[in-house]
Amino acid sequence: MATIILGVCGSIAAYKAADVASRLVKLGHEVHCVCTPTALQFVTPLTLMTLSRNPVISTFEDETGSWVPVHIDLAQRADLLAIVPATANTMACMAQGFAPNALTSLYLANRAPVLIFPAMNGNMWNHPATQQNAGILLGRPGHRIIGPDDAGMLACGAEGQGRLVPVERIVDEILNELDGRL
């Protein structure tokens, strides 16, 4: 089975990453959650660790136990990196090559395919800066952006584009990407 890195960013939709991790583990995949520090304000490391059956990495201080930094080791072993949910901030860091945290550092070391599942306010998604960053990411080999959903009630109370695509679709997209690679 595959080694999947599940990047989790600080969005209200972060709780859905727990369901994604659980479903992938039940299918026999090795899942490692690497979270931005802000993601842990929305979902706990204990939840993600229990469901993924692996320690959660969110800071460089979490990287103990080996002489190889964990974010480098995981990047080298990854069959797929899925960012669920992806925030405008993390997408900007990825597009511009900034590495202020363990997830964005892992991204720069990663050579596996990257699936990006955005979730944010529709105005943030449609802002020219976010669209430019999305275009940069889409121009990189092996990168795909799935979503956000076109309509629905957002956590901020607005109606429209910006919601994370359904968990079922996320899992299907990950499995389809892996089928083409493994």
Chain centre distance of CA 81: 7
Instruction: Give φ, ψ of 70 to 5 degrees.
Output: -60, -40
- Please state, in angstroms and rounded to a whole number, the distance separating the CA atoms of residues 79 and 128: 32
Position 130, amino acid: T
Selected catalytic residue, list 9, 33, 35, 156: 156
35 catalytically annotated:
no
- Please state, in angstroms and rounded to a whole number, the distance separating the CA atoms of residues 173 and 176: 5
Are the beta carbons of 154 and 160 closer than 8 angstroms? Answer: yes
Catalytic residue numbers?
Answer: 156
